[in-house]
Amino acid sequence: MPTTKPSAKDRILDAANRLFYDEGIRAVSVDAIAAKAGITKKTLYYHFKSKDDLIEAYLVSRDQPNLALFRKWFEEAEGTLAEKVEAIFVNLARSARHPKWKGCGFLRTAAELANMPGHPAMKVGSAHKKKFEAWLSEIFQERGLSSSQELARHIVLLMDGAFSTILVHHDPAYIEAAGRAANSMVLNAE
């Protein structure tokens, strides 16, 4: 059966994903993305009117897969609600041990664009974090936990704090510690 070659747009987005995640958005040129995608710069600009549009598309492409992965880790975990929440952190720590893991692409992009709060990618990153928080809040509410929104926000703060700390220390134990704290917080809310 013949295989279909990915479209030029898909190749561009795949190249941008790999390069932006590995090297950072400011360090990667449009020329480098075009070369990695095997297309011309003109073709890149046919599909994305600017590098900023490509950065936005990069984060949009990461949104649902990341959220789906968190849901999967939660649903596959056995045990109590607190243990299922902690399992998200345990799996993040396992991912962080992989040599190619570079942290949260949303937070890394936000750090590079901190002086550009209106950038479309900042909006995508904010929406992604809000979706995760809303999903947790919904789970907590379904389980009858009081202050489900506040608890979800605390879990997000723990996760993003762990993401930031591991970039400084390169030690997944910080994510595991945040997971234990999340477990305790959920237990106390039950």
The per-residue pLDDT for range 22-33, each reduced to its tens digit, is: 999 999 999 999
The per-residue pLDDT for range 143-173, each reduced to its tens digit, is: 999 899 999 999 999 999 999 999 899 999 9
- Could you tell me what percent of the chain has a pLDDT over 70? 99
Query: Distance between CA atoms of 133 and 126, rounded to whole angstroms?
Result: 11
Q: How many CB atoms lie within 10 A of CB 41?
A: 13
Confidence of residue 190 (pLDDT cuts 50, 70, 90): confident
The whole model's pTM is what? 0.90
Stretch 58-62: mean pLDDT, rounded?
95
Stretch 65-73: mean pLDDT, rounded?
96
Average confidence score pLDDT of the chain: 94
- Could you tell me what percent of the chain has a pLDDT over 90? 91
pLDDT at 70 over 80: yes
Question: Which sequence spans correspond to the domains of the chain?
Answer: 1-49, 60-189
Question: Considering only the top CATH level, what class is 1-49?
Answer: mainly alpha
Residue 2: the pLDDT is 60
pLDDT at 1 over 80: no
Handedness of CA 37, 38, 39, 40 (dihedral sign): positive
Fold adopted by 60-189: Tetracycline Repressor; domain 2 (1.10.357)
The per-residue pLDDT for range 83-117, each reduced to its tens digit, is: 999 999 999 999 999 988 999 999 999 999 999 98
Confidence of residue 4 (pLDDT cuts 50, 70, 90): confident
Q: Using an 8 Å Cβ cutoff, are 30 and 61 in contact?
A: no
The per-residue pLDDT for range 41-55, each reduced to its tens digit, is: 999 999 999 999 999
Residue 3: the pLDDT is 73
Q: Using an 8 Å Cβ cutoff, are 81 and 190 in contact?
A: yes
Q: Which residues contact 144 (CB under 8 A, 6 or more apart)?
A: none
Query: Distance between CA atoms of 166 and 96, rounded to whole angstroms?
Result: 8
Residue pointed to by tokens 């002086």? 115
Residue whose C-alpha is closest to residue 89's, from 190, 160, 167, 187: 160
Q: Using an 8 Å Cβ cutoff, are 57 and 15 in contact?
A: no
Q: Which residues contact 77 (CB under 8 A, 6 or more apart)?
A: 83, 84, 86, 87, 88
Q: How far apart are the first and last CA of the chain?
A: 54
